[in-house]
Structure 1
Amino acid sequence: MNRIATLSIFIENKDSINKVNHILSEYSEIIISRMGIPYREKRISVIVLIIDGSNENIGALSGKIGNLNGVSVKTAMKK
């Protein structure tokens, strides 16, 4: 069963940006919407996703991104 979720991704290490984008392309079939903001004054990039996928896919995506150096991710799922 698919669920709707949001992922908030915070990237503090510029070297991880390409890795994040590569992972997101691997999961593009479950990504409904993506908004990315480079916050240069704070030296951080923020990506917010709306996704529609299984618990396994959402967890795998969140885990892969969260394991990158200088990247943190927060997931919120619809009940």
Structure 2
Amino acid sequence: MNSRVALIGIVVEKAESVEALNRILHEYGSYIIGRMGIPYAKRNINIISIAVDAPSDIISALSGKLGRLDGISTKAVYSKVV
């Protein structure tokens, strides 16, 4: 299967879910190119972006698992480069 480059945007609204989020990210660590986290104290949230290089089904699975966590919202944006 072809590998794709994508960005997964994550908004963390509940700090209690961070441990589970990090556990899932560790599972998919071989696909992660880089990670950037921004705490936004004014709104009491954290914004994380994850750059990945993986098959589409892996990217969807990762984004889906993260999005099912309580207080976590995700969105994946795919590069057109295959």
TM-score (normalizing by structure 2): 0.93
Q: Which residue of 1 aligns with 2:55?
A: 54
Residue aligned with 2:70, SS: coil
Residue aligned with 1:53, SS: strand
Q: Structure 1, unaligned stretches of length 5 or more? A: none
Cα RMSD between the aligned structures? Answer: 0.6
Q: Which residue of 2 aligns with 1:67?
A: 68
CA distance in 1, matches of 2:40, 2:46: 6
**Residue correspondence of structure 1 range 40-51 to structure 2 within 5 A:** 40-51=41-52
Q: What is the identity, as a one-letter code, of the residue corresponding to 1:73?
A: T
CA distance in 2, matches of 1:21, 1:39: 19
Residue aligned with 2:51, SS: strand
Shift of 1:56: 1.1
Q: Structure 2, unaligned stretches of length 5 or more? A: none
CA deviations over 1:14-68 (Å, ceiling 9, x no partner): 1001111110000000000100111122110111011000011101100000000
CA distance in 1, matches of 2:74, 2:68: 9
Aligned residues: 79
What percent of counterpart residues are identical?
A: 42
TM-score (normalizing by structure 1): 0.96
CA distance in 1, matches of 2:21, 2:39: 14
Q: Which residue of 1 aligns with 2:15?
A: 14
